[in-house]
Amino acid sequence: MTVTERLSAAPSWRNASFRARRRRLQWRGLALPALLLVAWELLCALNIFTPDVMPSPVAVASELARLWTKDQLLGDIVITAERVALGFLLGTVVATVFGAVVGYSRIAGEYLDPTLQALKAVPSLAWVPLFILWFGIFEVSKIALIAVGVFFPVYLNLVTGIRSTDRKLVEVGRVNALGRFDLVKRILVPAALPSYVTGLRAGLALGWMFVIAAELMGASKGLGFLMLDGQMTGRPATIVAALILFAIAGKVSDALLVAAGRRVLSWQDDFASTQVKTGQ
């Protein structure tokens, strides 16, 4: 093999090693759930957890199989995912607009930010009666409630990302006669992107939390309704099964968002990427 061939083969070898190391790190995330599952089953077998309070993993799996055979479970998962997706999209769009304006303009921040910070302190359930009064008990009120939960993390992280941009970078841009559009495109957007992606992840997590409150607003389908139905009929296995499905759905959607964010932020050379490369 020539020197040129060796040099060209080196990057592909390093990329393959990097991907293999990342896969090993991802598998480590299953260690704690597996340990908790074993401990849960052991506590149920020793009758420390009674079936009427905390059903065993086998009972929960049986309940999931029963719901699946009734063609109920897939429909509940899909309708809940649709509500979260629509609420996340709406909340993200509105938060991005407000966050960009407030982060870029000090005057706009002085007018808007105090009110938004006050609204942030309102508990999620406090919006329920107002949204029912405004929109009824149909899908609009549910999506609006989820959007409220998504809005604030995205807004706050975007404002923080823009305002935390290194002042020297902005000054360099102005020295090089960059206009407002180029300044935003070449300096502010790349600088704010890491905080923005973090806000999207936090907003998505809150979207999954708010959907439970949303589905208490007269829903007849969804994982939140499934939990409520399990409570009303005294079936703890149904409640735990719905909780597990919420956790899985939240993790899958977060993993998709992380993968998309990794592509957008591929230019970053930060501490986290160093940890993955070294396997720490």
Same structural domain, 87 and 138: yes
Cβ–Cβ contacts within 10 Å for residue 56, how many?
Answer: 18
Structure tokens at 128: 């329920």
CA-based nearest residue to 249, from 25, 27, 95, 79: 79
Same structural domain, 93 and 23: no
CA-based nearest residue to 236, from 72, 61, 53: 53
Same structural domain, 135 and 189: yes
pLDDT of residue 91: 96
Torsion of CA 194, 196, 201, 205, to 10 degrees: 150
CA-based nearest residue to 88, from 236, 251, 199, 223: 199
Same structural domain, 178 and 259: yes
- Residues in the chain, overall count: 280
Same structural domain, 6 and 89: no
Same structural domain, 70 and 86: yes
Identify the domain containing residue 245 by its residue range.
53-278
Same structural domain, 80 and 32: no
CA-based nearest residue to 115, from 98, 134, 132: 98
Q: What is the pLDDT along the chain (280 residues), one digit of tens a residue?
A: 554 455 455 455 455 555 655 566 567 778 888 898 899 889 888 888 888 888 988 999 998 898 888 877 888 999 999 999 999 999 999 999 999 999 989 999 999 999 999 999 888 778 888 888 888 888 898 999 999 999 999 999 999 999 988 888 888 888 787 777 878 888 888 889 999 999 999 999 999 999 988 887 777 788 888 888 888 888 889 999 999 999 999 999 999 999 998 888 877 766 555 555 555 5
Structure tokens at 171: 């000054």
Half-sphere exposure of 22 (CA within 13 A, CB side): 12
Same structural domain, 154 and 85: yes
Task: Check if the beta carbon of residue 92 is closer than 8 Å to that of residue 200.
Answer: yes
Q: Tokens 């902005």 sit at which residue?
A: 170
**Total domains, the chain:** 2
Same structural domain, 38 and 114: no
Q: Tokens 């149909």 sit at which residue?
A: 138
Tens digits of per-residue pLDDT, 107-166?
999 999 999 999 998 887 788 888 888 888 888 989 999 999 999 999 999 999 999 888
Separation of alpha carbons 183 and 179, rounded Å: 6
Same structural domain, 8 and 64: no
Separation of alpha carbons 211 and 77, rounded Å: 12
Task: Tell me how far CA of residue 127 lies from CA of 131, 144, 242, 278, in angstroms.
Answer: 6, 10, 24, 47
Q: What is the CA radius of gyration of the chain?
A: 24
